[in-house]
Amino acid sequence: MPQDFFRHPAWRGYLLALLAWGVAFALRLGLAQWFPPGFPYLTFFPAVVLVAYYAGLRPAILTATLSGLAAWWFWIGPPGFDIGVATLVALGFYIFVAAVDIFFIVGMDGASRRLSHEVERNAALAESRDILLREVQHRVSNNIQVVSALLSLEARASNDPGARKALADASARTALVAQIQRSLADAERQATAFESLARSIVDDALQAAARDDVAVSISSGAVVLSAEEATPVVLIMLECVNNALEHAFPDRPGEITIELSDDGAVRTLVIADDGVGVSGTATAEPGSLGLRIITALTRQLGGQWSLQPADPGASARLSWPSPPASRQT
């Protein structure tokens, strides 16, 4: 039975008060011969507590008043409303205990209700915030997509091959940012699974490069990327994949392996290929636009990036601190 049943309408609470007092009085009267002297209120206190919890302050006061009067008349001192010192002391004790019971029960119930309302209010605010944030993400994604389309139009209209390529690359990168933003908007709690997002991005890159002879394997376990991580991490991954497609397999099939791991303190992304490899270790300040982009995004993450020769091929490694939520889990 819901707790508010005896509060609305109010007459139910007063009816409960009368019934509780009646049952307590009947029990006290029926057990009178079994009770030793000095326990006139034994069955009345539970009635007061019950009514205070289910019906609230005023019905509880009614129950306490009727119980006190009944105990005063029948079981405190001589029959009737005796006003002796012992009787007044017993009544004072009863009033004190009943008032404390009612005060704490009604007070805690009120605090519990206020807390419940606050929790509901916060939940509604959180839901509204999430809806608004998703809407903002969608609008940002749409605006970025418009910018990408404008860059693509400028690229097609340009007569300079260098400018056309630069604009086309900028359009592709901007479209990728829009795609990541859309994925974040659709993901719960503004976090997205790396593996599904990476697979979609890599498939688009392979299709754009017309490289159906390159196999790409992706593994990340259950790692998800926060909104702050997703854009720089995926952009770095794509730059590494495009670099491998352009330089590692000039005239033969190949394989690219992408692995993301998280040890609780550091997240590590490794993009390895079995191509022609690189000479030395690429740790110096890069000269190409792609490598400059990687360096800038790595700094944004507060991490480190390196490109090293492997056997066979090459291996690019990105490491950055895990977000706080990942460290707690």
The predicted-structure confidence for 129-165, as pLDDT tens digits, reads as follows: 777 766 776 677 677 778 878 888 888 888 888 888 7
H or E segment to which residue 95 belongs: helix 85-157
Between 35 and 206, the higher pLDDT residue = 206
pLDDT at 81: 86
| pLDDT reading at 230 higher than 90 | no
Q: Is the pLDDT of residue 177 over 70?
A: yes
Q: How far, in Å, are 200, 236, 246, 270 from residue 217 at the CA level?
A: 12, 17, 18, 12
Helices (H) and strands (E) in the chain, counts: 9, 7
30-89 residue pLDDT tens: 887 787 777 788 889 999 999 998 988 999 999 999 999 998 888 887 778 888 888 888
Token pair for residue 89?
């002391």
Lowest mean pLDDT among 28-32, 252-256, 280-284: 280-284
Say what the pTM is: 0.54
> Edge to edge, what strands does the sheet with 254-262 contain?
214-219, 254-262, 266-273, 314-321, 304-309
In sequence order, what DSSP letters do the residues of 146-176 get, joined into one string? Answer: HHHHHHHHHHHH---HHHHHHHHHHHHHHHH
Q: Could you tell me the CA-to-CA distances from 255 to 82, 215, 234, 241, 278 in Å, in that order? A: 100, 5, 19, 11, 16
Q: Is residue 184 very low, low, confident or very high in pLDDT (cuts 50, 70, 90)?
A: low
pLDDT band of residue 189 (cuts 50, 70, 90) is very low
